[in-house]
Amino acid sequence: MEIYIDILILQNVVMNYLILFMTSKLSKTRISNLRLLLGSLVGASYVVFLLLFPEMKIYYTTVAKILLSLFIVAVTFYPPEFKSFMRILAIFYISTFIFAGAAFAFLYFNKTGGLIQNGIFYIFADSKWSMMFFSSVTVCIIVKIFWDLIQERFIKDNLCIPLKIVFENGIIDLHALVDTGNSLHDPLTNAPVVVVEFNAIKDILPKDIQNIFEESKEEDLVRATEIISDSKWFSRFRLIPFTSLGKENGMLIGFKPDYIEIGENTDKKGVSDVIIGIYNRTLSKNNNYNALLSPELV
């Protein structure tokens, strides 16, 4: 069997990237594409090293592979705490097993698809990309199904938690509903969006931004854009498209806070990479909550 090292490297970089990408999603750790690529290259270089120096048997051992996984996670995610590191490492192993299981399944149904030798996964030229594609699709379906089950089992629709929003010198404390249907993201930065009632947050907003909502001009995008453009907070504000909250093809005016705090006491979590979407209506009929929080922030 002929092995093309450039194809082997590319295959491993792609698979490693997908595994690390899924790890970042499941662990709710936001990592740049550059970091993901760097971790992928670390894993791929190990495979190339084994091919160039096959006589060094120590690198085929379980200990060596565990050390490699530790290094990949450290390079990609650089978690500051030991507890966080072990959590991400465990999710990395789970992601790897899911991808490996999907790949083995397709190898089983396509006996000419590839083989495993000395711990290296080889995919033959006539099926490599199709198998990687179908393996990735299968993994996405599996993760989606199990993620929905986890959310349904552990994140109830009536779960309300404390939320603190800090913007410049203003601080607002309110309660947020963990809403599994809130999948809004800022189209520019892909940051998750927390939907908050205007009346609950207006005290920390600049006066010119308050006027937009008090005069119900938020749906007049031309006028709202003019006001925001003239505001000194222009760089902090966003326009976020949405198709829920009782309206299709709508647009929320949002802003980037200094940070938010979710939960309380020992479960408190600070998040800075987030957008607050301002909703000029009531979210709760009985006023139990004033915001809708995405499950990925919990």
What are the residue numbers of the active site? 179
Q: What is the DSSP string of 63-109?
A: HHHHHHHHHHHHHHH--SSHHHHHHHHHHHHHHHHHHHHHHHHHHHH
Using alpha carbons, select from 139, 125, 59, 58 the residue that is nearest to residue 96.
139
289 touches 160 (CB < 8 A): yes
- Residue 161: burial class (beta carbons within 10 Å; 0-12, 13-18, 19+): middle
The encoded tokens of residue 280 equal 């000029």
Looking at this protein, which amino acid is placed at residue 97?
F
CA 9 to chain centre: 26
Pairing of the two strands 275-279 and 193-197: parallel
Q: What are the two backbone dihedrals, phi and then psi, of residue 261, each rounded to the nearest 5 degrees?
A: -120, 130
| DSSP reduced 3-state for 174 | strand
Using alpha carbons, select from 207, 291, 286 the residue that is nearest to residue 252.
291
The encoded tokens of residue 205 equal 């907003």
